[in-house]
Structure 1
Amino acid sequence: MAKTKPLVIGLTLILVASLGFNIYQWNTTSSLTQQNQLSLERQEMLHQLTATQNKINDNLIRLDGALQTACHKLSTVGLSGTQARTILSELVANNSLIVNAATADVKDVLVAVEPSNYSSIEGQDISLQEQNLQLHQTMRSAMSNMIPLVEGFPGVVMVAPIFDGSGKLIGSLSIVVQPSLLVQQSITPASEGVTQYSMWAMQSNGTLIYDPDPAQQGKNLLTDPIYADYPDVQSFTHRVAAEQSGYGSYQYYDTNLDNASKQVVSKEAYWTTVGIYGTEWRLVVWHALDP
């Protein structure tokens, strides 16, 4: 009996040590699995972000190409008349992202606008709009931030100068674009079986130009009262505005504001930059971190 007791104790110690090692190994394996899963999620987030960034920039470049082509045509036919209106109508008809197209004279008074349901704004002075001020400073194409338009809704305006055959400025051509639609149509769908991560986009001043939640569309992340109780949102927004790309985290609701089951969650996010003519937007992809 005396000889058996040390043996039992020894076996017990071995069993405890083995159990402890197995628990450690399981914890280590579980931790590595979680890290690998998180790494895969982040890779997919970056893939979706980059693909969408490329599509947005491609769409902006296509809009610029259409704008320049129309300017070239207008340089020979003038700012008004049947031929000019045909050029404007075709510009809108061939580009689903364009709301309307308009010519303006050298004093930035609208001359012709198509489609015809926007003709009521002809004759309006748009000389104080930011994109026109920039155009006259540089004599190059410009794009506004999201602004209240004479059409009666917010949007962005891309404008280009029109020169005659001798190189003299005779006016400008502008197109109105709704950035929310441009971003939404550019979001790259995830592959089958892969999580589709949510995205939003903002101007460098913190104004949301796209958000899946209609209630947040057009809100300013830095100044709107709905974000006042969430300092993480404002800190993150300041970083996004200041840096062209990066990674960060913040806390906010996990779904639309009108959803009764919404909860505040921790989110991790990557962002990058899109834009044209020197005007930049920030594109952000995020997902909720596990509690």
Structure 2
Amino acid sequence: NLNLSNRGYFKPLFAGNTVKGFPIFSRSTGKRSVFVAVPIVMDGKVTGALGISVFLDELNARLNKDLDLPPHYTWYILNEEGNTMLDKERDFIFMSPLTQGSDSLRKGVAEALKHESGTIQYQLDGHREAYYRKLPNFEWRMFIALVEEGKTDVPQKLQLTLERFVPELQGQLNKIDASLAAQIEKNGVNVHNESEVRKLLRTLFDTNPEIVDATFIDTHGVLRLAEPSDYKNFEGSDLSSQEHVIAMLKNPQPLLSGGFVSVEDFLGMVIARPLYDSSNHFAGTISALIRPELFITPMIGKSMIPEDYELWIMQTDGMIVYDLDKEEIGKMLFSDPIYQAYDSLLELGKKIAAAPEGEGSYIYLAQGLEEKVIKKVIWKTVKLHDREWRVVLAYRPYN
């Protein structure tokens, strides 16, 4: 048995009122539904109720198919409180245009809720004109709007902030890579002399405070030496199954790896260069390990990124290599379950992966909150060797 007495619809229902579309979000399944119920009355008293739940995602998909509107039209349904019950873009379900939208949209919706039918005009990524009508037997109103696409209005402050940060990040990656190359060339290391290799690793670590450790990996993919000494217990680890190690053994050349779970047990990436012996034969790899949050966070403060902006960095395969929410670091945008309910984010992610720079918008949870909000973004790219990172800066235009 399930006790429903704490549900918002319970008291009105058992006071004898019909419930018409009470919104419900299931935390356990992520399903969005509405509850419709009528009281059962015997001898003038409410003795029970008969109700059904209607799953909104399924209904939304069916209505989209049945309506089959042209691309430049959209539709949505609001309840009497202005909350979105259904929308051509399902990300908007349970969001309120009275709190998440332009001033003209808020004013238009507030006025529409006072009438049974009419038209409103508002701005939302371009000019929109909507016709609305109240649904029979429900305090819900359906809107059909003509959408005139407009260019995203990017605040100058957002653009300037990203233009400060991206060169800083690119410069730090270049610095570590150049240091790696310079130390290898300068020291002329005998790969068979452990003390010489350790000296190289230690110098690399000491001159690059941004890295976690420096390692030497042999031609079999085994981590032979590590500095500083805190990481010596990882010496002897077989790394031959790691993607970047496989790539280096197959074709020795400088690289920035993709994100991976390191033997040190955190998401990291390495900047690596091949090491050659006196006969110019490939003899192993010198790697500098980076931990994204420790590497990038200091740069955010240096670049003076405002607290109300959100920075995240993505590989072109969709891996999140940095996010202000540490729980999201290492997740795959295109496959992780936490993102699958957000169509606009997945669609934007594809655009970000495909283009080195651009702008767009999506809907996702506000940072540190459980409320969905509209976010607009711009992005640029940093690149080292054949690896690209998309640097994305987001803000909430309707906060």
Give the alignment partner of residue 254 of structure 2, picking from 106, 118, 141. 141
Question: Hey, what does 1:18 align to over in structure 2?
Answer: none
Structure-2 change in CA distance of 1:75 and 1:110 (3 Å): farther
CA distance in structure 2 between the partners assigned to 1:248 and 1:45 by the alignment: 13
Question: Hey, what does 2:344 align to over in structure 1?
Answer: 232
Question: Hey, what does 2:389 align to over in structure 1?
Answer: 281
Equivalent residues in 2 for 1:70-219, closer than 5 Å: 70-73=183-186, 75-78=188-191, 80-187=193-300, 188-190=302-304, 197-219=309-331
Aligned-pair CA distance for 1:52:
0.9
Contact kept in structure 2, 1:160 and 1:174, CA below 8 Å: yes
* Residue ranges of structure 2 left out of the alignment (5+ in a row): 1-122, 124-151
CA displacement 1:79-126 (0-9 Å, x = unmatched): 542232122122112212111111122222222111112112212222
Contact kept in structure 2, 1:71 and 1:161, CA below 8 Å: no
Aligned-pair CA distance for 1:279:
0.7
User: When you count helix as a share of all residues, which structure comes out higher?
Assistant: 1
Aligned-pair CA distance for 1:73:
4.5
Aligned-pair CA distance for 1:164:
2.8
CA displacement 1:175-216 (0-9 Å, x = unmatched): 11112332322235349xx77632111111212111111222
CA distance in structure 2 between the partners assigned to 1:198 and 1:213 by the alignment: 9
Aligned-pair CA distance for 1:141:
0.6
CA displacement 1:198-256 (0-9 Å, x = unmatched): 21111112121111112222222222222222111111111111111111100112222
Contact kept in structure 2, 1:56 and 1:182, CA below 8 Å: no
SS of residue matched to 2:274 = strand
| Amino acid aligned to 2:391 | L
CA displacement 1:137-183 (0-9 Å, x = unmatched): 43211121111112222210121111234422222111111123323
Report how many residues are paired. Answer: 248
CA distance in structure 2 between the partners assigned to 1:161 and 1:252 by the alignment: 42
TM-score by length of 1: 0.78
Question: Hey, what does 1:68 align to over in structure 2?
Answer: 181
Percent identity, aligned pairs only, is 29
TM-score by length of 2: 0.58
| Amino acid aligned to 1:281 | W
| Amino acid aligned to 1:154 | L
Question: Hey, what does 1:47 align to over in structure 2?
Answer: 160
CA distance in structure 2 between the partners assigned to 1:79 and 1:254 by the alignment: 54
- 2:379 is the counterpart of 1:271: yes
SS of residue matched to 1:160 = strand
CA distance in structure 2 between the partners assigned to 1:181 and 1:139 by the alignment: 28
CA distance in structure 1 between the partners assigned to 2:192 and 2:155 by the alignment: 50
Question: Hey, what does 1:220 align to over in structure 2?
Answer: 332
User: When you count strand as a share of all residues, which structure comes out higher?
Assistant: 2
CA distance in structure 1 between the partners assigned to 2:237 and 2:327 by the alignment: 31
* Residue ranges of structure 1 left out of the alignment (5+ in a row): 1-30, 32-37
CA distance in structure 1 between the partners assigned to 2:243 and 2:215 by the alignment: 16
Instruction: With a CA cutoff of 8 Å and minimum separation of 6, indicate the structure with the bigger relative contact order.
Output: 1
| Amino acid aligned to 1:203 | Q
Q: Is the deviation greater in 101-110 or in 241-250?
A: 101-110
CA displacement 1:246-278 (0-9 Å, x = unmatched): 11100112222xx4xx42111110011112111
| Amino acid aligned to 2:358 | G
SS of residue matched to 2:233 = helix
SS of residue matched to 1:124 = coil
Contact kept in structure 1, 2:213 and 2:227, CA below 8 Å: yes
SS of residue matched to 1:174 = strand
Q: CA RMSD in A?
A: 2.3
Aligned-pair CA distance for 1:64:
0.3
| Amino acid aligned to 1:67 | L
CA distance in structure 2 between the partners assigned to 1:210 and 1:197 by the alignment: 14
| Amino acid aligned to 2:338 | I
